[in-house]
């Protein structure tokens, strides 16, 4: 789930496993925190530190926009430093060979006409 928040003066907070968008006095909306994969904040929408840390730990992308839609900046979690270190230390030839072997022209893939794709049911926002 991706959130697009533009309620001016609102604050996105983390409470009891849910992300709450609160106005000056009352809650405006509530979202299951673990289902959020990205957040776009437009204008004067605040983000509490616990909500920010939770979203970054979940790997969610955060984007900050002006009210007119100009991107101010983005934030996201850093990849695991051990994975990055291993990638940098790995010899390049086996990695290049793996890319070539995985190229679609070298794989035995059935014709697209033979691949069955389930029809998308859409997101009804179930309860």
Spans of all domains in the chain? 2-75, 81-106
Residues 43-88 have pLDDT tens digits of 999 999 999 999 999 988 899 999 888 889 888 877 777 877 877 7
Q: What is the pTM (predicted TM-score) of this model? A: 0.59
Nearest of 72, 79, 73 to residue 56 by alpha carbon: 79
- Rounded to the nearest 10°, the torsion over CA 92, 93, 95, 96 is 110
Domain 2-75 fold = Ribosomal Protein L15; Chain: K; domain 2 (3.100.10)
DSSP state of 104: G
């Amino acid at each position: 789930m991706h959130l697009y928040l533009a309620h001016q003066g609102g604050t996105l907070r983390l409470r009891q496993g849910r992300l709450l968008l609160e106005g000056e006095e009352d809650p405006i909306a509530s979202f299951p925190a673990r289902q959020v994969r990205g957040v776009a904040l437009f204008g004067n929408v605040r983000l509490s530190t616990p909500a920010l840390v939770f979203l970054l730990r979940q790997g969610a992308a955060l984007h900050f926009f002006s009210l007119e839609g100009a991107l101010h900046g983005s934030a996201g979690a850093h990849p695991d430093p051990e994975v990055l270190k291993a990638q940098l230390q790995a010899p390049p030839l086996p990695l290049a060979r793996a890319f070539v072997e995985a190229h679609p022209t070298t794989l035995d893939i059935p014709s697209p006409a033979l691949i069955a794709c389930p029809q998308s049911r859409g997101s009804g926002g179930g309860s």
